[in-house]
């Protein structure tokens, strides 16, 4: 095989790959959630967290940005209700991960968790109770207490954003229960008498 024919073969493969990429993008193909957004299968939704909860604010902002689902202020009439079984702001933890040779804290582990479920307006459970636990390690230095407090707040904020993304993925994967089709009862039809 000559050098020019191997270059020509590589050029053909590159053109083929480029052509396939253009075709896939032209037909509207996208990996699910690849652009960071998720379509929710509900027209209206209620978030069962306090209005001032940072997680509630993040979830509502994200859902409103999608535009396909309206966040409502009451459970009544909402197609889906996100019921929070354990408030993540009360479940934030900070545990000692390691000590230095003097017995002083060297590293902490920050934890952030939520337990929730989703029900529809009829009370049917669309998503069973689900727990999401997030942890992040953080080093500690007594000479930089203020900087470490700022870093800790930033890590909790990062975990909250991660929690919003994980909740949204689970909400987008829900398949709503469709009501059973109702069919009007049909009156029995008497067989026709044979004609004489």
Which residues of the chain have a pLDDT value below 50? 29-35, 180-187, 189
Predicted local distance difference test score (pLDDT) of residue 7: 54
What pLDDT, in 10s, does the model give residues 101-118? 988 888 999 999 999 999
Helix, strand, or coil (residue 97): strand
Quickly count: other Cβ atoms within 10 Å of residue 115's Cβ.
Answer: 16
The model's pTM is: 0.67
Predicted local distance difference test score (pLDDT) of residue 66: 85
Q: Give the list of residues 6+ apart from residue 64 with CB closer than 8 angstroms, or none.
A: 71
Predicted local distance difference test score (pLDDT) of residue 186: 45
Positive or negative, the CA dihedral 65, 30, 79, 183 is positive
- List of E strands, 22-88: 44-48, 70-71, 80-86
Predicted local distance difference test score (pLDDT) of residue 180: 42
Predicted local distance difference test score (pLDDT) of residue 39: 82
Q: Give the list of residues 6+ apart from residue 105 with CB closer than 8 angstroms, or none.
A: 96, 98, 99, 140
Predicted local distance difference test score (pLDDT) of residue 110: 93
């Amino acid at each position: 095989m000559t050098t020019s024919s191997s270059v020509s073969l590589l050029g053909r493969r590159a053109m083929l790959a480029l052509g396939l990429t253009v075709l896939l993008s032209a037909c509207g193909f996208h990996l699910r959630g690849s652009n960071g957004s998720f379509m929710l299968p509900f027209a209206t939704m209620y978030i069962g967290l306090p209005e001032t909860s940072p997680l509630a604010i993040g979830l509502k902002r994200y859902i409103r940005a999608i535009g396909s689902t309206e966040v409502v202020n009451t459970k009544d009439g909402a197609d889906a209700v996100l019921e929070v079984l354990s408030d993540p702001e009360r479940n934030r933890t900070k545990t000692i991960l390691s000590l230095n040779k003097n017995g002083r804290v060297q590293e902490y582990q920050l934890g952030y968790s939520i337990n929730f479920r989703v029900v529809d307006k009829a009370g049917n459970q669309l998503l069973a109770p689900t727990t999401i636990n997030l942890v992040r390690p953080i080093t500690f230095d007594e000479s930089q207490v203020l900087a470490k407090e700022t870093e800790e707040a930033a890590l909790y904020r990062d975990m909250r954003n991660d929690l919003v993304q994980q909740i949204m993925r689970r909400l987008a994967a829900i398949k709503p229960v469709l009501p059973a089709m109702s069919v009007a009862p049909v009156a029995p039809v008497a067989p026709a008498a044979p004609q004489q």
